[in-house]
Amino acid sequence: MSLRSLLHYVSLDGAGGVELQFVEFVHAARQLTGIQQAVVACGDQINPLVADRLASTGVPATFEKYTGPIKLPKWPRAIRARHQRRLVRRVRPDAVVIWNRLRASLDTLAAAGPQRCVYWERGASWFAGETPAKRQFLANVPAALCNSFAARRMLELRWGYQGRVQVVPNALRPSLLPDRPMARRAPTGECLRLGLVARLQPIKGVAVALQALATLRARGVEASLAIAGDGPGRERLVNLAEHLGISDRVCFEGLVADMGAFYQRIDVLVHPALREPFGQIAVEAGVYGVPAVVAAVDGLVEVIRHEQTGLCVLPTLALSTYAELGGGTSDLPPFVYDPASDQLQEPKVVDPAHLADALTRLIHDVDLYERLSKQAVAAAIQDFDFTEHVRDALAAIDGFVG
């Protein structure tokens, strides 16, 4: 491998899956290859949880918009452009990896030179906003990594991307690998323990999960729902649970530090998202033997193989029904990828009754539950190995810029 140095441009304001995956990628890349790396944080801060973990890797970080404590003005643009050139000259990278940033990366391309820039698509191509800057960026960046086949097709079908593309699926973060991955026995307790992991925003379909829980309860199925995650939709969802009469069966746990412990105390992962480029949480739950019931949309069907490692429920309801179910309407994508037709379409919503049907089937069929649990563990270990993920990504970057 000719690659000796990398410069990463990435937003680290939050502490979600992308940010934590990034930190472990940087750490593993350094351990495996000794490649020199540096980070340019593109937001106004680095989340404290991420900052601590990034500091432990020994990889230096600076800010795209700041010089010391001083925030650089947007205008005139030449000020920030000069700062970008200084950052690149300081590191002198062989390759610049732009993580999931479509809308504000033209200055990076200009500072580094397109020939050594690689865009890593992890969901940004779904976002609303058809801006000339996005199209200009994609017309000029010559190569892209994608975390799923769905992400690749979104770039190609929606944005007309014609550069070189390599699909490198996400992988199981080493920090989440249990000491002894084991399949589960079918739940025999009085109450089925459902779990949902998501930022509380409309695209994650949390309202659908609450409606499905209410349907299960109406059918006489004792079930509860633990929700790991926080976000702007929390109050609306708490009110929805109260309206449905299931508040005593729903626990909003907020941000959970020990996700391994969370997966250990649930029986089934529920993820009826309206959009999901990959579905990292399904891999995480799988290695703990937790079968997942997910929406058959975007990259989720690449992570959960229907009837093998979980169940995929086809979204059938028009997007216009989402508000009636209690879902929010802000920041919904204009398109999602339909794996069955290999086409883009307007987002659809999983019918809560169909989700409840899949959950009912899973808990009443002991053989099915235990088979899915066993195969989910095996798939998480064999198909989503983090070391292979890092090696594949670095090899692709090396091939792009070599």
Secondary structure of 353-380 as H, E, C letters = HHHHHHHHHHHHCHHHHHHHHHHHHHHH
Question: What type of residue sits at position 275?
Answer: R
Tell me, what's the pLDDT at 329?
92
User: Distance between CA atoms of 207 and 236, rounded to whole angstroms?
Assistant: 9
Instruction: For 244-266, write each residue's pLDDT tens digit.
Output: 999 999 999 998 989 999 999 99
Tell me, what's the pLDDT at 15?
83
* Residue 291 phi, psi dihedral angles, 5° rounding: -65, 150
Instruction: For 4-57, write each residue's pLDDT tens digit.
Output: 999 999 999 988 888 999 999 999 999 999 999 999 999 999 999 899 999 999
Over 90: is that where the pLDDT of 395 sits? yes
Over 90: is that where the pLDDT of 309 sits? yes
What is the full DSSP assignment across 75-105?
Answer: SSHHHHHHHHHHHHHHH--SEEEEES--TT-
Residues 119-130, buried b or exposed e (16+ Cβ, 10 A)?
bbbbbbbbbeee
For the segment 361-387, the average pLDDT, to the nearest whole number, is 97
Instruction: For 172-220, write each residue's pLDDT tens digit.
Output: 999 999 999 999 999 987 899 999 999 999 999 999 999 999 999 999 9
Nearest to 233 by CA among 215, 256, 208, 258: 208
Tell me, what's the pLDDT at 257?
87
Tell me, what's the pLDDT at 103?
85
* Residue 40 phi, psi dihedral angles, 5° rounding: -110, 115
User: Distance between CA atoms of 263 and 147, rounded to whole angstroms?
Assistant: 23
Tell me, what's the pLDDT at 402?
83
Instruction: For 207-220, write each residue's pLDDT tens digit.
Output: 999 999 999 999 99
Tell me, what's the pLDDT at 1?
78
DSSP H helices, 121-224, are 132-140, 149-159, 206-218
Tell me, what's the pLDDT at 188?
86
Over 90: is that where the pLDDT of 392 sits? yes
Over 90: is that where the pLDDT of 348 sits? yes
Average pLDDT, the chain: 96
Q: Which domains does the chain have, with CATH numbers?
A: 5-171+385-401 (3.40.50.2000), 177-383 (3.40.50.2000)
Tell me, what's the pLDDT at 364?
93
Helix (H) or strand (E) holding 129: none
Tell me, what's the pLDDT at 17?
81
Helices and strands (H and E) in the chain: how many: 14, 19
Question: What type of residue sits at position 172?
Answer: L
pLDDT class for 122, splitting at 50, 70, 90? very high
For the segment 92-98, the average pLDDT, to the nearest whole number, is 97
Tell me, what's the pLDDT at 49?
87
Tell me, what's the pLDDT at 264?
97
Q: With pLDDT > 90 as the criterion, what percentage of the chain qualifies?
A: 94
Residues 6+ apart with CB under 8 A from 23: 50, 53, 54, 57
Question: What type of residue sits at position 338?
Answer: D
Tell me, what's the pLDDT at 189?
79
Tell me, what's the pLDDT at 16?
81
CB 291 within 8 A of CB 310: yes
Q: With pLDDT > 70 as the criterion, what percentage of the chain qualifies?
A: 100
User: Distance between CA atoms of 393 and 395, rounded to whole angstroms?
Assistant: 5
pTM of the model: 0.95
What is the full DSSP assignment across 273-321?
Answer: -S--SS-HHHHHHHHTT--EEEES-TTHHHHS-BTTTEEEE---EEGGG
Work out the number of other CB atoms within 10 angstroms of the CB of residue 2.
Answer: 8
Per-residue tokens: 221 = 């199925």
Work out the number of other CB atoms within 10 angstroms of the CB of residue 348.
Answer: 19
Q: What is the CA radius of gyration of the chain?
A: 21
Beta bridge partners of 343: 338
Beta bridge partners of 119: 98, 144
CB 249 within 8 A of CB 224: yes
Over 90: is that where the pLDDT of 270 sits? yes
Over 90: is that where the pLDDT of 104 sits? no
pLDDT class for 396, splitting at 50, 70, 90? very high
Instruction: For 128-156, write each residue's pLDDT tens digit.
Output: 998 999 999 999 999 999 999 999 999 99
User: Distance between CA atoms of 64 and 47, rounded to whole angstroms?
Assistant: 15
